[in-house]
Amino acid sequence: VEKRNNNAKAFISFDKVSKSFGATNALINCSVDFELGKIHSLVGENGAGKSTLGKLILGIYKLDSGAVSIDGIPASFSSPTEAVKLGLVGISQELSLLPDRTVIDNIAMGRETTFGPFVSSNKTKEQVLKVMDKYDLHVDPEKIVGMLSVADQQKVEILRALNTNARLIVFDEPTARLAGHQVEQLHSLVRSLAKSGKAVIYISHYLEEILAISDTITLLRNGHKVRTESASNETRDSLIEGMTGRDVGSLFPEISKIDPNKDVLLKVNKLCRNNEFQDISFEIKKGEILGIAGLVGSGRSELALTIYGDRLPDSGSIEFCGNKVGLKGISDSVKLGMAIVPESRRDQGLMLERSLLENTSLPYLKRFASWFYGINKSQERKEVIDSCVETMVKHGGIEKEVQFLSGGNQQKVLFARAAMGKPKLLIADEPTRGVDIGAKQVIYELISQLSKVGEAVLLISSEVEEIIGIAHRTLVMSHGKVVAELSGSELKKSAIMEAAFKQ
């Protein structure tokens, strides 16, 4: 039975709020209060209702039933513009910046200082610099946003929110694309915002992060609120049990041992690409899961894209199944038997406004095509459905647009696409980024199954526990070079982090 804290004065209150999308009940009779000066985290599996609640707060969605009050006064808002006027702003996992404009333009957008009908560039810049100084959050104001690192782009997004005189800020998976030291910087900023009297709503799948930063935690499951509790009364195990309704078991599946006599599937020899990585050499045997660890910017993703044929190396060679290959594009890689789950599902992996069917079958359309009959739709549908079942994608129909799937199911669509090609090598770049604990277990099991049937996996991850949990062997990259190779008893968090920070 849920209890509400009626003693503390809430800034914004939701009373028996519900929201549905067609036949899907995203939020059901949810009541929760958010206080100024507190960090209130929302926790749950994908599809539990976390992001839906966050988007109701920001005016992106309009509630179907229930009531909202701000400072004890009934409130109604149905657009982000109206929410911003009330001091409600958000920072999303997928940044919404203008990459071709300057930092000043992005931060001041819609709030420029004007002189009559004209924008005062100097006064606008002064205002932006004041916000940077106030929160001790500095980025080169004249720099083009698209040229910034992901961490600095996120700073710009936060500064834009702070430039609106925000009273409540929703952080939705803000650390999903950050390295370890950048995460702590963000945490310090979030704590300072709460200390200054702002209400902070924090949505994350990283449970240790939630426990470390939160004052209050609300657990959601299948659209229902399970409980709201002080963070000091929760543990990692209690959160998992509350989210899933199941006892905590082993997160990682058992990984089968690699036969040292197995054939080498992929051999990379002295691969170089200027300003990205240098002199990279390694082998992957059939059935092996090779991890690549390192900080963001160490060259891991660039290496993966080069192996996959998305970009050409400046020197070095790649051998696949015993043959030297000169990949001229991604289509060559697909024909050879490679597949990829890219780092960003939104920017590199999915066409959000197209159907699940189209997203899954796109690389393999020639398989269903004939010059006379065109696309064999029934065969295409059958194979897509089979692949979605195999990878446990939850959906309301393969004709539905993937933008309406939860983040975890969007990620599993990428695995469904890869599985449909029956690849010999899967390159998985941050495969569990932004997904919940339940979806992570599914993805780890999928990777394990690929290994068991003799397919190789190149696993790139910023989560050290993930690397240790499912990789047979791990390379650590730093500043574009492989600085360590670890396996067996050497494969420890301390050893990986020590190598990753090598200069």
Joined together, the tokens standing for residue 461 give 């991850």
Q: Walk me through the domains of the chain, giving residue ranges and CATH numbers.
A: 12-244 (3.40.50.300), 262-337+423-434+455-503 (3.40.50.300), 349-422 (no CATH)
Cβ pair 54, 41 in contact under 8 A: no
Q: What percent of the chain stands above pLDDT 70?
A: 95
Rounded Cα–Cα distance for residues 48 and 27 (Å): 8
Q: Which ranges of 215-262 would DSSP assign to H, the alpha helix?
A: 236-244
Q: Which ranges of 196-293 would DSSP assign to H, the alpha helix?
A: 207-213, 236-244
Rounded Cα–Cα distance for residues 107 and 142 (Å): 11
Rounded Cα–Cα distance for residues 25 and 224 (Å): 9
Joined together, the tokens standing for residue 168 give 């409540």
Cβ pair 210, 437 in contact under 8 A: no
Residue 269 CB neighbour total at 10 angstroms: 15
When pLDDT is cut at 50, 70 and 90, the band that residue 484 belongs to is: very high
Q: What is the pLDDT of residue 328?
A: 73
- DSSP character string of 376-413: -HHHHHHHHHHHHHHTT---S-TTSBGGGS-HHHHHHH
Cβ pair 277, 299 in contact under 8 A: yes
In 3D space, the residue among 217, 193, 169, 171 whose CA is nearest the CA of residue 5 turns out to be: 217
Residue with tokens 């993703």: 301
What does residue 440 show for φ and ψ, rounded to 5 degrees? -60, -45
Predicted confidence (pLDDT) per residue in 76-110, tens digit? 888 888 898 898 988 876 667 888 899 998 888 87
When pLDDT is cut at 50, 70 and 90, the band that residue 26 belongs to is: confident
Q: Which ranges of 255-355 would DSSP assign to H, the alpha helix?
A: 300-307, 330-336
| Residue 260 or residue 213, greater confidence | 213
Residue 338 CB neighbour total at 10 angstroms: 25
Q: What is the pLDDT of residue 2?
A: 45
Q: Please give the single-letter amino acid code of residue 35.
A: E
Q: Which helix (H) or strand (E) holds 261?
A: none
pTM assigned to the model = 0.65
Residue 178 has pLDDT above 80, yes or no: no
Residue 284 has pLDDT above 90, yes or no: yes
Predicted confidence (pLDDT) per residue in 370-424, tens digit? 777 788 889 999 999 999 998 888 888 899 999 888 878 888 999 999 989 889 9
Predicted confidence (pLDDT) per residue in 180-190, tens digit? 677 888 888 89
In 3D space, the residue among 435, 420, 425, 427 whose CA is nearest the CA of residue 385 turns out to be: 420
In 3D space, the residue among 463, 19, 390, 471 whose CA is nearest the CA of residue 207 turns out to be: 463
Predicted confidence (pLDDT) per residue in 339-354, tens digit? 999 988 888 889 989 9
Check residue 325 and give left, alpha or beta (phi > 0: left; psi -120 to 50: alpha).
beta
When pLDDT is cut at 50, 70 and 90, the band that residue 191 belongs to is: very high
Rounded average pLDDT over 436-440: 77
Q: Is 154 helix (H, G, I), strand (E, B) or coil?
A: helix
Q: How many CA atoms lie within 13 A of 85 on its CB side?
A: 9
